Structure 1
Amino acid sequence: MMNGMETTFLDPQTQEAEIEEIKQVIARLEHSQQNELPEEFVSLFRADAIWTTGHGKRLTGRDEISAFTHQVLPGAMKDSTATYEVVHVLFIRPDVAAVKAHAQYSTLEGQPIGNAGTPLYVMAKEGGQWRLVACQNTEVLAP
């Protein structure tokens, strides 16, 4: 089990299953970005979600997130790719989790581009599916 993933809300087996479901959402996020699939990306958000981009642009609601994503995602990955790894999950409630990830943009050959990212995703499980609810992308600046 990853550090910081203990909770009193869920038994260990259920917790592991929920963490795997959360990881699958982040894997779909990665897939949608790598393959420039705006509809897949937007489908991961709850309708009233809020997202702050890595450059500080606040987007509120799936419609605004969709408009932004359809504008910037097509063509964004022609010379690069992005990977995301879940590094910490904190269950706030059994159906709400704060998820920290490590993000890295790289060339198609795998060479890192720029600084890594450390996004925070607050996710809620509704109707049996984990959805992104409040997200903040943050670039890690070099010391």
Structure 2
Amino acid sequence: MDIHPATAVRERAIDVDVILGLVADFEHAQQNERVDDFVALFGENPVWTTGHGKRLDGLEEIASFTAKVLPGAMREATQRYDVARIAFIGPDVAIVNVEQTPITHDGRVIEGAPTGRPFWVLAQDTEWRIVGAQNTQVVEA
């Protein structure tokens, strides 16, 4: 995992740990199809663009969409989320590149399944929360 700017690593170690925890909570919520836990990871007035290009504006739209698609979605397989990069672009704003890997329920990578490269914007008020995200499926050219 890369953390930028490099000089901020020591000062931002707690923030890095919290952000890694947020990604782990995201993974847990999705793997266990916990809609309320998933939605709780978003901040005020977030924007989420799904891997298929659907833009969701605000918590209500994200919650409604998630309630429709998440239950039952992990029946046959799930996803692992690994942080590839964190960049602090302000005292309370970070951008996070995530590697999304399809896995079996026992943790084995599903070879040949499409992967994702989510890009998240996080903001911190009292807690780090997702305020913007683009979930992009990787297509090899």
Q: What's the TM-score once normalised by structure 1's chain length?
A: 0.91
Give, in whole Å, the separation in 2 of the partners of 1:74 and 1:4.
34
Alignment of 1:14-25 (within 5 A): 14-25=11-22
1:43 aligned residue: 40
Contact 2:22 2:41 in 1 (8 A): yes
What are structure 2's unaligned runs of at least 5 residues? Answer: none
Contact 1:82 1:103 in 2 (8 A): yes
Contact 1:32 1:41 in 2 (8 A): yes
Q: What's the offset of the Cα at 1:89? A: 0.7
Contact 1:30 1:83 in 2 (8 A): yes
Give, in whole Å, the separation in 1 of the partners of 2:22 and 2:109.
25
2:82 aligned residue: 85
| 1:13 alignment partner, SS class | coil
2:138 aligned residue: 140
2:113 aligned residue: 114
Contact 2:39 2:59 in 1 (8 A): yes
| 2:80 alignment partner, SS class | strand
What are structure 1's unaligned runs of at least 5 residues? Answer: none
Q: What's the offset of the Cα at 1:57? A: 0.4
1:3 aligned residue: 2
| 2:4 alignment partner, SS class | coil
Q: What's the offset of the Cα at 1:7? A: 5.1
Aligned AA (1:77): M
1:126 aligned residue: 125
Residues 68-93 of structure 1 show CA distances to partners (whole Å, capped at 9, x for unaligned) of 00000000001111110011011110
RMSD: 1.5
Give, in whole Å, the separation in 2 of the partners of 1:130 and 1:88.
16
1:26 aligned residue: 23
Aligned AA (2:130): L
| 1:20 alignment partner, SS class | helix
User: After the TM superposition, which parts of structure 1 deviate over 2 Å for at least 4 consecutive aligned residues?
Assistant: 2-8, 106-109
Aligned AA (2:55): R
Contact 1:7 1:91 in 2 (8 A): no
Q: What's the offset of the Cα at 1:4? A: 4.4
Q: How many residues align?
A: 139
Give, in whole Å, the separation in 2 of the partners of 1:87 and 1:136.
15
Aligned AA (1:31): H
